[in-house]
Amino acid sequence: MNSAFRTWNGVERHTLFPGVTLHAIGGEQALMCHVVYSAGTTVARHAHPESEQLMWIVEGDVTMTVGDETKRLGAGDVVVVNRGVEHELHSEGGMTFVEALAPVPRDHVPNPERDLVLGEQGDSLHVER
C-alpha cells in the first residue's frame, strides 16, 4: 500500500503487552501510536536504547517514573522520555494516550504492510528496540 492516507477504523488493536493495546502508524523516521492501558496495568522498568518517546495522556491517569522522578499524570499531561532512560508505569484505573517514538522501533509496528508509509529510505532508519 503506497498511499499516505490510512485509517484505524475497523482495525483490531494490537496487544503489545498484557493490558496494553495499540494502533500504530509510522514513516521512515517516526512512529505514532494510540495506546490503551487496561485498569491495573503495570509496565516494568525498561528503556528504549535507540528511541525517544513522547506521550500525551488523553484519558485516565498513570503513575510514571522516568529516571528517578515519579509523577502522577492525567489527561492533558505530557512526558518526554529520552532514549536510553529507564522508566516504568502503573495505571490503576486505565488510561489512553498518544505516543510518538523516533526512530521507529520495529516491535511497536503490528503490521508493517498496513502500518508504515515508507519513502525511498524504506525502513533503513528503524531500530530493533
Parent domain of 40: 15-108
- Phi (first) and psi of residue 33, to 5 degrees: -130, 145
Structurally, how many domains does the chain consist of?
Answer: 1
What average pLDDT score do residues 85-95 get? 98
pLDDT given for residue 129 in this prediction? 72
**pLDDT band at residue 48, thresholds of 50, 70 and 90?**
very high
> Do 80 and 30 contact (CB within 8 A), yes or no?
no
Is 102 contained in some domain? yes
The domain that holds 71 is classified in CATH as: 2.60.120.10
> Do 31 and 24 contact (CB within 8 A), yes or no?
yes
Is 47 contained in some domain? yes
Query: What pTM, to 2 d.p., does this model score?
Result: 0.93
What average pLDDT score do residues 34-46 get? 97
Is 128 contained in some domain? no
Is 97 contained in some domain? yes
Is 119 contained in some domain? no
**pLDDT band at residue 1, thresholds of 50, 70 and 90?**
low
